[in-house]
Homo-oligomer: A and B are copies of this chain.
């Protein structure tokens, strides 16, 4: 009876998309349910998956809203 919660920012993975697509969601659901079957032998019908899309301004990393943090990281000398 696993429960999988996937929290991601609400944004597209490719130019032109501004959120996770229905097809990508279906791939995530299929992939993680299969993983729980492969590793822990959990039947597919015993696994629930919930995808939570979080507005980008509601996500923080490095003490900053994540968009600002990413910008800062790109400016860092490597």
The interface of chain A, by Cβ under 8 A from chain B, is: 1-9, 13-14, 20, 22, 24-36, 38-42, 44-45, 47-54, 57-66, 68
Q: Taking chain A's interface residues, is the majority helix, strand, or loop, or is none over half, making it mixed?
A: mixed
Q: Is B9 within 8 A of A59, CB to CB?
A: no
* Residues on the B chain within 8 Å of A50, using CB: 3, 7, 54, 58-60
Asked whether A24 and B39 contact (CB < 8 A) given A5-B5, A30-B63, A61-B1, the answer is yes
Interface pairs (13), CB distance under 8 Å: A1-B59, A2-B7, A4-B5, A7-B50, A8-B40, A22-B57, A26-B64, A28-B40, A29-B64, A31-B35, A35-B35, A45-B61, A48-B59
